[in-house]
Structure 1
Amino acid sequence: MTTTPSPRGHYFEDFEVGQEFVSPARTITLTDIVNFACLSGDFNEVHTNFEYCKTTQFGEPIAHGPLVYAVMGGLQYASGINDGTLLALLQIDGWKMLGPVKHGDTIRLHSRVVDKKASSKPDRGVVTFRRQCIKQDGSVAQEMTATLLYRRRGG
């Protein structure tokens, strides 16, 4: 007999407005930046050309904004709250790039529940988070509001 393990993630009912989550940390590397350029096809010089970057305010290549966003999604998964209970990403609002992420920067995802609403379907509910990408020095590199759909218990 095969048994399916219970999800370790949070169900809709587990979230409370004001609740905060801090993810594990991850260091962004040049390999991440180059791999993302290859994956996305975005070879903009601000990400790939050291000599060009010496003429910018950054002085060196910076990570793509969507790369940092993708890593934030992975960090939320690594925190465990989505594992087996997340159904869908519904919306991103107010996505802002507030500071560069460079090779060697270590980032964490700080999330705070700002809203939750039961769906008209009894097996799911909507949770809205204020997300911030925080660098090792405490500065905020990105922020946004993310709306996600989660499973409900017993649904």
Structure 2
Amino acid sequence: FCSPILLLNDDPFNKQGAHNIEAFGPVSTLMPYKDLGEAIELANMGKGSLVSTVATADERIATDYVMGAAAYHGRILILNEESAKESTGHGSPMPLLVHGGPGRAGGGEEMGGVRGVKHYLQRTAIQGHPTMITAVTGQYQKGAAYKEKAIHPFQQHFEDLEVGETLITAKHTVTEADIVNFANVSGDHFYAHVDETSLEGTIFERRVAHGYYLLSKAAGLFVDGRKGPVLLNYGIEDFRFTKPVYPGATIGVRFSCKEKIRQEKRDEEDIRKGIVKWMVDVYDETGETVAIGTILTMVRMRDQS
């Protein structure tokens, strides 16, 4: 422990004590440099630091400094006139940020958020068939065996749903009228959906269905409209449209329970519930996936005690 000390190193490229001796305490050393390149070189001579700060209003300087110094610092704080007003300071990491440089400065990560817990965990990769990995991890993997039930998944409480449980929906043949109607309802008149004369030089062979139409139609195929334990749609994650769908294509949905996450009650008046992640795999008449992603629903628990 030591009291606040301000030191001057008038020749930091040759006098290397400031780079090699790590003082835990309020000790700062002023070091002169001629240009940004020298500043980066000096910052990197510490052999790995938790955090570095660059104070500048110049976006190019900030970018060049980060590109040059990032490999030697766990975190870089960029201060300008706007951010300085609410900055928590050079040494105050937020839990989700990486805070730990290479070498002696935390081995790349320090004890922030979930990363701090992982330092104490033995982590193991699991290799095997998707069905086995689904069973072991409790998270559905694409390609795993389906579990089909007679009851619709939206009519089941949180506890009764099984990871891997899958609804194979009815099918729908996409028409030009579907595409035109969706364009009119949504206001999405992107040329690939409404103007076949503009497709030269694109990847599309003819008028193509909206990706959002596919998502909307998929919901129409897998949703059960009756009142049940599903409380609301909680969100969408990682949706991809992987193959063009043209009029005449027939689509269906493989709707699989992907993961279940229990929620804590916010107060005594709150109901017991959880979030269910569903894999939405939209496929065409060839069996090939045309769109895939994850939706989340909030589902009531059967046991409210």
Q: TM-score normalized by structure 1? A: 0.84
Identity of aligned residues (%): 28
Please, which of 278, 281, 284 is the counterpart of residue 135 of structure 1?
A: 284
- 1:153: Cα distance to partner? 2.1
Note if contact 1:93-1:146 (Cα within 8 Å) is conserved in structure 2: yes
**Residue ranges of structure 2 left out of the alignment (5+ in a row):** 1-153, 266-270
Cα deviation, 1:87-116, whole Å, max 9, x if unaligned, reads 111121111110011111111111221211
Distance in 1 of aligned mates of 2:231 and 2:180: 31
**Which structure is richer in relative contact order (CA contacts within 8 A, separation 6 or more)?**
1
Cα deviation, 1:1-36, whole Å, max 9, x if unaligned, reads xxxxxxx72222221112222111111111110011
Please, which of 85, 106, 129 is the counterpart of residue 229 of structure 2?
A: 85
Note if contact 1:10-1:81 (Cα within 8 Å) is conserved in structure 2: no
Change (3 A) 1:106 1:82: farther
Cα deviation, 1:54-86, whole Å, max 9, x if unaligned, reads 553221111111111001111111xx3875332
Distance in 1 of aligned mates of 2:277 and 2:164: 11
**Residue ranges of structure 1 left out of the alignment (5+ in a row):** 1-7
Note if contact 1:9-1:85 (Cα within 8 Å) is conserved in structure 2: yes
Count residues with an aligned counterpart: 146
Q: What SS does structure 2 have at the residue aligned with 1:114?
A: strand
> RMSD of aligned C-alpha atoms?
2.0
Moved over 6 A (4+): none
Change (3 A) 1:11 1:73: same
Distance in 1 of aligned mates of 2:239 and 2:197: 29
Question: Partner of 2:298 in structure 1?
Answer: 149
Note if contact 1:12-1:151 (Cα within 8 Å) is conserved in structure 2: yes
Q: TM-score normalized by structure 2? A: 0.45
